Structure 1
Amino acid sequence: MGKTIEQIATQRGHQISHIIDVNNAQDLQTITKGDTDVVIEFTQPESAFENVKYCVENQIPIVCGTTGWLEKRPTIEQICQEKKSAFFYASNYSIGVNIFFRINQILAKMMNPYAQYEVSIEEIHHTEKKDAPSGTAITLAEGIIENLERKKGWKLAENTVDQITITALREPNVAGTHTVFYESEIDTIEIKHIAHSRQGFALGAVLAAEWLKDKQGVFGMNDLLGF
């Protein structure tokens, strides 16, 4: 993901000030708001919080796409407000996926009167993805819960009456496939998004970084896209 972001950012005329991975993680402490306009953070759940925390504490705008650490997100948002910094988070930066999110919300609202339809979510990702379910699947579940009164939460591969079942599959060379099912005894309705590569995610992250520069506050894709 980092290599794809670097390629797209360079193609769009940006200069990369730092590239940090597991081999030089300590170099994060050398980044300042004087030499870097925006940081784009795609790492792992165990490192994301400290990476983001350093940036918001030092008023370096940061775009984060790492999932699996969001129980600590309120802390980051509080620090961001206190330091008058800028934090942009999305579970998925693809323009197509964010349109899919909106369609998912609309469909859930339409299905609210029809209790005979049981809703579930399936997500498929590459075998290197560590967290499950994906942040995208969780965002889909949250969009359903906001609009479908009979669902109060979600469970991973568990079938309960008031919870949305999410099935997480890991297969080689899958960029990301998400499907929402509404099933009854009579028929099935489904909506699906299939990512053909990581290009869409990386481009969206770069667009978010361009948009975030010189801003203050906590933002997401709805702000970028004007939804």
Structure 2
Amino acid sequence: MKVALIGLGTTGKIVAEFLFQKQVLSLVLCRKNSSAAAGKDLGEVLHRPYMAVPVETTDNLEEKLTKYKPDILIDFSSPAFLREHLTTLARCNVNVVTAVTGYTQMDIRRVKVLARKRKIGVVLAPNITRGVNVTLLMAQIAAILQPDYDFQVIDENHRNKKDSPSGTAEKIAAAIMKGLGTPHGDERQVPIYSIRAGDITGRHRVMACGPYDQIEITHTAFSRKAYAEGAYQAAGFILAKTGLYEMKDVYGFSNYSGERTCEVAESTPAHVYA
């Protein structure tokens, strides 16, 4: 498996090192005309010895994809990259793992249609860590079992995180709404409270409050390596696949039915959003 990476922010640099250690990283991309890293070896950017991984701009992207021939592109940049370059990636038969938040419903529909028509695989992964996906299931189960409780989501992240609430917080709220079902799912909204402070790596809490007690579900990321590990697993999963997937497919959680039995099926194939 050969992987290209775009996005060399705080998390992206950790992802780059992780992928390099796994011996799968062949190319790093950066935004054209806006990065001092362009034209350098990744080792120089990360203040490491020579790594033999070039950092290239997205100018003439098709030419660079043809030259380096990555199987997968992992995206830790912004929604603008996929909006602009998804067609080029499809033309070059490059599958995608995007850990970016902030996509609109129109963006997601476009990705779904293009993945199906061009026969490429895309993992849409705003919630890229395994722990967050366990939290999603736990939140949904709590809503199924305690539909009369008041649910809230607290979303804590570092001060430079642009989206508020985060895509993960919105996914948790959606999981709760699914657990509540109809008519509650149509009538009740789950409040999300966002905190942006310091260098919080990522913490999401679900509070479910009844008249006499409270349930709290918390996921805390101690290290950004959790995102790198999730991205690497997603890349291995999407290799040679087609269609649109989520991280619940990568982790094998997609068989959860959401019914009141709270059982996870074991034999049904992973659901494909295509």
**TM-score, L = length of structure 1:** 0.87
Q: Do the aligned residues in 2 keep the contact of 1:151 with 1:162 (CA within 8 Å)?
A: yes
Q: Do the aligned residues in 2 keep the contact of 1:123 with 1:167 (CA within 8 Å)?
A: yes
Q: Deviations over 1:71-108 (max 9, x none)?
A: 21111110110011111111111111111111111111
Counterpart amino acid of residue 122 in structure 1:
I
Q: Which residue of 1 aligns with 2:196?
A: 170
Q: Which residue of 1 aligns with 2:75?
A: 41
Q: Do the aligned residues in 2 keep the contact of 1:49 with 1:69 (CA within 8 Å)?
A: no
Q: Do the aligned residues in 2 keep the contact of 1:37 with 1:213 (CA within 8 Å)?
A: yes
C-alpha spacing 1:53/1:107, structure 2 compared with 1 (3 Å)? farther
Q: Which residue of 2 aligns with 1:20?
A: 30
Moved more, 10-19 or 168-177: 10-19
Q: Deviations over 1:147-174 (max 9, x none)?
A: 103233xxxxxxxx72111001101110
C-alpha spacing 1:127/1:57, structure 2 compared with 1 (3 Å)? farther
Q: Which residue of 2 aligns with 1:93?
A: 128
Q: Which residue of 2 aligns with 1:108?
A: 143
Q: Which residue of 2 aligns with 1:5?
A: 15
Q: Deviations over 1:182-202 (max 9, x none)?
A: 113322211111111211011
Q: Which SS does the other structure have where 1:147 is aligned?
A: helix
1:220 is displaced (CA, Å) by: 1.7
Q: Do the aligned residues in 2 keep the contact of 1:4 with 1:202 (CA within 8 Å)?
A: yes
Task: Output the CA distance in 1 between the equivalents of 2:144 and 2:26.
Answer: 43
1:56 aligns with 2:90: yes
Q: Deviations over 1:20-39 (max 9, x none)?
A: 24433425343436711110
C-alpha spacing 1:105/1:31, structure 2 compared with 1 (3 Å)? farther
Q: Which residue of 1 aligns with 2:165?
A: 133
Counterpart amino acid of residue 195 in structure 2:
L
1:44 is displaced (CA, Å) by: 2.0
Greater C-alpha Rg: 2
Counterpart amino acid of residue 226 in structure 2:
G
1:66 aligns with 2:100: yes
Instruction: Determine which of 246, 259, 266 is the counterpart of 1:220.
Output: 246
User: How many aligned residue pairs are there?
Assistant: 216
Structure 2 gap ranges (5+): 1-10, 36-56, 254-274
- Does 1 or 2 have the higher relative contact order (CA < 8 Å, sep 6+)? 1
1:53 is displaced (CA, Å) by: 4.3
Counterpart amino acid of residue 11 in structure 1:
Q
**TM-score, L = length of structure 2:** 0.73
Moved more, 214-223 or 127-136: 214-223
Task: Output the CA distance in 2 between the equivalents of 1:54 and 1:206.
Answer: 22
Structure 1 gap ranges (5+): 153-160
Q: Which SS does the other structure have where 2:59 is aligned?
A: helix
1:189 aligns with 2:224: no
Counterpart amino acid of residue 110 in structure 2:
T
Q: Do the aligned residues in 1 keep the contact of 2:76 with 2:100 (CA within 8 Å)?
A: yes
